[in-house]
């Protein structure tokens, strides 16, 4: 049966469907509803455990530790909280803990505009923590897709043994839509990590070899370990080459947009081709290359000052045009006028 749901509700329900048994979080707009639902759900279902932590640092560490202890776990936050979680994210990659981090983006930097949507955490998601790591991140654009992609994120986490990031924005989190979540069938990957209390393993953020032995002066052991990690992440990501492509034969212009921006400009499909990456990281390099070949103009429309545009340029090796929707201003008319301007400049 169809029900009216918000993006945050759908994300929480998706996590439960994926088998999540632990949530730790700290209140922050616009992701607090997930925290609230987790607290209520834990009262009614004792097997689901919940922690309202003292800060996002603790929330993220608790999420990863619960995963090591043996259950699927997740946390939710927004940009400033995600910044505090970077330490734990790096640790999560080092100890190879499968879990899900939800980042509902708002305007930054710092406190920014707490209630206004943005898409400006892309760089932070890719490499906000110290060292080399290879995060996987998905970004839905509707309530129903939020549900599906939450499950996908949990599956990818189990397969890649890492914290997978589900992106959303203030707009999507609070978007209410009709969706029939019970009718959705989704494959759920079971736990892949042996819980604590079984062996003699050491889960450490210090450099270690494949067996978990601390190796702080051994480049070769480090290289082997990192290559293993990279390969596993890229193989997992290859299973989920998610994107949406709406071609229009007579158009010479391709619009690239994702998340809520792709919903706002969806009516422009009458005039332009539209490409929507769903898997944000690793960047859809091959797909972008193949699709952008057919177009003279490429315009990236996003809620930040050209973060994804930089990735597109890196992937396809040529300049693209940018329409940055800053400070929570996502008006279709304004975007249209900007596109016209860019096209005039481009000719």
Partner 1 sequence: MIDRSYKELLKLGRFPHTWCPGCGIGAVLKNVAMAMKELGWNNQNTSVVSGIGCSGRMAGYMNLDAVHTPHGRALTAAEAIKTVRPDLNVVVLSGDGDLASIGGNHLLHTSRRNPDITVFCNDNEIYGLTGGQAGPTTPKGTKTITSPRGEHYQPLRLNRILTTQAPYFYARTTVYHLNHFKACIREALLYKGFSFVDIISDCIELNGRRLGFKTAHQMFKWFDERFHMVEGVRDHLKDDELGIAKREVEAEVKAEVEEVPMEKVEVKHEDLKTFTREELKHFDGAEGKPIYIGYKGKAYDISASPLFQGEKKMRCHIAGKDLTKDIEIAPHGEELLFKFPVVGRLKEK
User: What is the CB neighbour count within 10 angstroms for residue 285?
Assistant: 13
Closer Cβ to partner 1, 21 or 322, answer by number: 21
Q: Which long-range contacts (CB under 8 A, 24 or more apart) does 142-145 make?
A: 142/172, 142/175, 142/177, 142/179, 142/263, 143/5, 143/6, 143/7, 143/9, 143/10, 143/172, 143/175, 143/176, 143/177, 143/179, 144/10, 144/177, 144/179, 144/181, 144/184, 145/278
Task: Say if residues 63 and 88 touch (Cβ distance below 8 Å).
Answer: yes
To the nearest whole angstrom, how small is the minimum distance from the Cβ of residue 61 to partner 1?
Answer: 4
Closest distance of CB 89 from partner 1, Å: 10
Give the residue with the Cβ less far from partner 1, 206 or 333.
206
Nearer to partner 1, 199 or 219 (CB): 199
CB of 49 to partner 1, least distance (A): 5
Q: Compute the least distance from the CB of residue 62 to partner 1, in Å.
A: 4
Distance CA 78, CA 57 (A): 13
Looking up tokens 């969806």 gives 266
User: In the bound complex, what is the minimum distance in angstroms from residue 316's beta carbon to partner 1?
Assistant: 37
Torsion of CA 12, 14, 16, 21, to 10 degrees: -80
Our CB check for partner 1 shows the closer of 73 and 261 to be 73
Tokens 């003699």 belong to 200
| Alpha carbon of residue 153 to chain centroid | 8
| Least distance in angstroms from the C-beta of 32 to partner 1 | 19
Least distance (Å) between residue 21 CB and partner 1: 7
Q: Which residues pair with 277 in a beta bridge?
A: 243
| Shortest separation between residue 29's beta carbon and partner 1, angstroms | 22
Which 3 state secondary structure label does DSSP give 113?
strand
C-beta of residue 60 within 8 angstroms of C-beta of residue 87: yes
Task: Pick between residue 221 and residue 255 the one whose CB is nearest to partner 1.
Answer: 221
Closest CB to partner 1 among 71 and 107?
A: 71
Least Å distance between CB 48 and partner 1? 10
Closest distance of CB 40 from partner 1, Å:
18
Chain residues binding partner 1 by CB under 8 A are: 21-22, 24, 49, 51, 53-55, 57-58, 61-66, 68-71, 73, 87-88, 90-91, 95, 195-206, 213-214
Cβ closest to partner 1, residue 195 vs residue 241: 195
Name the residue nearer to partner 1 (CB basis): 178 or 214: 214
Are the CB atoms for 31 and 77 separated by under 8 Å? yes
Query: Is the Cβ of residue 188 or residue 202 nearer to partner 1 in the bound state?
Result: 202
Cα–Cα distance, 99 to 19 (Å, whole number): 11
What SS3 class is residue 295?
coil
Q: Give the Cβ contact number of residue 171 at 10 Å.
A: 25
- 291 Cβ partners below 8 Å, 6+ apart? 245, 254, 275
Q: Output 217 or 333, the one with its CB closest to partner 1.
A: 217
């Amino acid at each position: 049966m169809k029900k009216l749901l918000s993006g945050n509700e759908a994300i929480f329900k998706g996590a439960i469907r994926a088998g999540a048994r632990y949530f730790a979080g700290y209140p922050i707009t616009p992701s607090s509803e997930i925290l609230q639902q987790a607290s209520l759900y834990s009262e009614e279902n004792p097997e689901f455990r919940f922690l309202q932590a003292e800060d996002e640092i603790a929330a993220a560490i608790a999420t990863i530790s619960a995963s090591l202890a043996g259950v699927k776990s997740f946390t939710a936050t927004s940009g400033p909280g995600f910044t505090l979680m970077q330490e734990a994210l790096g640790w999560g990659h080092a100890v190879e803990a499968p879990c899900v981090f939800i980042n509902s983006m708002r305007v930054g930097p710092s406190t920014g505009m707490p209630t206004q949507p943005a898409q400006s955490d892309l760089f932070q998601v890719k490499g906000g923590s110290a060292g080399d790591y290879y995060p996987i991140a998905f970004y839905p654009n509707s309530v129903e897709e939020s549900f599906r992609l939450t499950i996908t994120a949990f599956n990818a986490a189990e397969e890649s043994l890492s914290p997978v990031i589900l992106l959303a924005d203030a707009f999507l989190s609070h978007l209410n839509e009709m969706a029939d979540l019970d009718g959705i069938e989704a494959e759920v990957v079971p736990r892949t990590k042996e819980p604590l209390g079984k062996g003699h393993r050491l889960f450490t953020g210090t450099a270690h070899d494949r067996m978990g032995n601390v190796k702080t002066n051994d480049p070769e052991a480090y290289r082997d370990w990192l290559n293993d990690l990279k390969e596993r992440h890229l193989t997992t990501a290859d299973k989920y080459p998610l994107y949406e492509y709406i071609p229009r034969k007579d158009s010479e212009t391709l619009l690239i947009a994702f998340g809520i921006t792709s919903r706002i400009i969806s009516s422009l499909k009458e005039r332009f081709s539209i490409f929507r990456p769903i898997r944000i990281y690793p960047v859809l390099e091959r797909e972008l290359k193949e699709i952008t070949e057919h177009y003279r103009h490429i315009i990236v429309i996003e809620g930040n000052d050209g973060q994804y545009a930089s990735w597109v340029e890196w992937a396809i090796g040529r300049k693209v045009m940018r329409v940055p929707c800053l400070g929570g201003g996502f008006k279709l008319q304004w975007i249209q006028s900007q596109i016209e301007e860019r096209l005039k400049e481009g000719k």
